[in-house]
Amino acid sequence: MTDNTLTIREMCDTYDVTPRTLRFYESKELLFPIREGQKRLFTKRDRARLKLILRGKRFGFSLEQIRQLLDLYDAGDQQQVQLERTYELARERLADMELQRDELNQAIDDLTEQLKWGERIITPSKQNKKAAE
């Protein structure tokens, strides 16, 4: 029981995912729970990987990209070249995200302006402004 592995349900509760999701990730070779008979037991490694998966998703990586990153990460003592490649990818992604954030801020400002504009139309009781075009 205290052997440091978690059942699928415990995983779900801990990380707020569904069983289906965990099985799906296993089928995609993102996780490798061991089997005790039929049942899956998720090790510490699986938990670490799941955390990375979930974070990766927040970053906007696809599961396939995440798998590749995990593989590289896993091969910790591999070629520097590959590691560098990994960080290169990550930096590209980061640049993307920053760009996206800036555009998003712009859009937020735009929309905020629109809303101010709209309130001037709405609040005066029943003013019609048909002549617009």
Partner DNA sequence: CATCCGCTTGACGTTTACGTAAGCTGAACG
Partner DNA sequence: CGTTCAGCTTACGTAAACGTCAAGCGGATG
| Number of Cβ within a 10 Å radius of residue 8 | 20
Per-residue contact track with DNA, 35 to 54, x per CB under 7 A? --xxxx--------------
Task: Please state, in angstroms and rounded to a whole number, the distance separating the CA atoms of residues 70 and 86.
Answer: 10
* 84 contact, one of DNA, its own copies, none, CB 5-8 Å limit per kind: its own copies
Q: Which residues bind its own copies (CB under 8 A)?
A: 55-56, 58-60, 69, 72-73, 76-77, 80, 83-84, 86-87, 90-91, 93-94, 97-98, 100-101, 103-108, 110-112, 114-115, 118-119, 121-122, 126, 128-130, 132
Shortest Cβ 43–DNA spacing (Å): 13
User: Structure tokens of 59?
Assistant: 């970053």
User: Structure tokens of 69?
Assistant: 């990153």
Contact 5, 34 (CB under 8 A): yes
Residues contacting 83, CB < 8 A, separation 6+: 72
Residue type, 94: L
Q: Any contact of residue 24 with DNA (CB under 7 A)?
A: yes
Q: Which residues of 37-48 are buried (b: 16+ CB within 10 A; e: fewer)?
A: eeebbbbeebbe
Please say which residue, 34 or 115, places its beta carbon nearer to its own copies: 115
Residues between 56 and 85 with contacts to DNA, criterion CB under 7 A: 57, 62-64
Q: Which stretches of the chain bind DNA, using CB under 7 A?
A: 7-10, 18-21, 23-24, 37-40, 57, 62-64
